[in-house]
Structure 1
Amino acid sequence: MAWKTLDDMDLDGKRVLTRVDINVPVEEGRVTDATRITRIRPTVRAIQDGGGIPVLLAHFGRPKGRTVPEMSLKQVLPALEDAFGQAVKFAGEDGYDDVAAATRALAPGDILLVENTRFHAGEEANDPAFADRLATFGDVYCNDAFSAAHRAHASTEALAHRLPACAGRLMEAELTALETALGDPARPLVAVVGGAKVSTKLALLSNLIGRVDTLVIGGGMANTFLAAQGLDVGTSLAEHDMAGTAREIMDEARTGGCRILLPSDVVVARAFRADAPHETLPATGCPADAMILDAGPDSVAAIAAAFHDAKTLIWNGPLGAFEIPPFDAATNAAARIAAELTRAGQLTSVAGGGDTVAALNQAGVADDFSYISTAGGAFLEWMEGKTLPGVAALGG
Structure 2
Amino acid sequence: MAKQTVKDLDVKGKRVIVRVDFNVPLKDGVITNDNRIQAALPTINYLTENGAKVILMSHLGKIDHKDPEKCEAGKKKNNMAPVAARLAELVPGKVTFVPETRGEVLEKAVADMNEGDIVLIQNTRYEKGESKNDPELAEYWAKLGDLFVSDAFGSVHRAHASTVGIATHLPSACGFLVQKEIENLSAAIDNPKRPLVAILGGAKVSDKIAVIENLLTIADKVIIGGGMA
TM-score by length of 1: 0.51
> Does 2:118 align with 1:111?
yes
**Structural RMSD (CA):** 2.7
Structure 1 CA distance for aligned equivalents of residues 59 and 201 of structure 2: 28
Question: Given that residues 59 and 116 in structure 1 are in contact (C-alpha distance below 8 angstroms), is that contact kept between their aligned partners in structure 2?
Answer: yes
Gaps of 5+ in 1: 222-316, 318-354, 356-379, 381-396
* Secondary structure of 2:221's aligned partner: strand
Counterpart residue type for residue 210 of structure 1: T
* Secondary structure of 1:171's aligned partner: helix
> Does 2:145 align with 1:142?
no
Residue matched to 1:100:
107
Structure 1 CA distance for aligned equivalents of residues 49 and 21 of structure 2: 21
The structure with more radius of gyration: 1
Residue matched to 1:385:
none
Deviation digits for residues 177-223 of structure 1 (CA, Å, limit 9, x no counterpart): 111111x21443511437799x89776554323112x3275xxx6xx
Shift in CA distance, 75/208, structure 1 to aligned 2, threshold 3 Å: same
Superposition pairs for residues 123-202 of structure 1, below 5 Å? Answer: 123-182=130-189, 184-193=190-199
Gaps of 5+ in 2: 66-70
**Deviation (angstroms), 1:142:** 0.5
Counterpart residue type for residue 194 of structure 2: P
* Secondary structure of 2:43's aligned partner: helix
**Deviation (angstroms), 1:87:** 4.1
4+ runs deviating over 6 angstroms: 194-197, 199-202
**Deviation (angstroms), 1:100:** 1.9
Residue matched to 2:6:
6
Deviation digits for residues 255-292 of structure 1 (CA, Å, limit 9, x no counterpart): xxxxxxxxxxxxxxxxxxxxxxxxxxxxxxxxxxxxxx
Residue matched to 1:17:
17
TM-score by length of 2: 0.85
Residue matched to 1:79:
86
Question: Given that residues 24 and 34 in structure 1 are in contact (C-alpha distance below 8 angstroms), is that contact kept between their aligned partners in structure 2?
Answer: yes
Residue matched to 1:386:
none
Deviation digits for residues 17-67 of structure 1 (CA, Å, limit 9, x no counterpart): 000000101111110100000000000011112211211011111124555
Q: Which has the higher contact order (CA 8 A, sep 6+)?
A: 2
* Secondary structure of 2:161's aligned partner: coil
Deviation digits for residues 344-385 of structure 1 (CA, Å, limit 9, x no counterpart): xxxxxxxxxxx8xxxxxxxxxxxxxxxxxxxxxxxx9xxxxx
Residue matched to 1:53:
53
Structure 2 CA distance for aligned equivalents of residues 173 and 163 of structure 1: 22
Superposition pairs for residues 355-370 of structure 1, below 5 Å? Answer: none
Structure 1 CA distance for aligned equivalents of residues 200 and 159 of structure 2: 28
Identity over aligned pairs, percent: 34
* Secondary structure of 2:109's aligned partner: helix
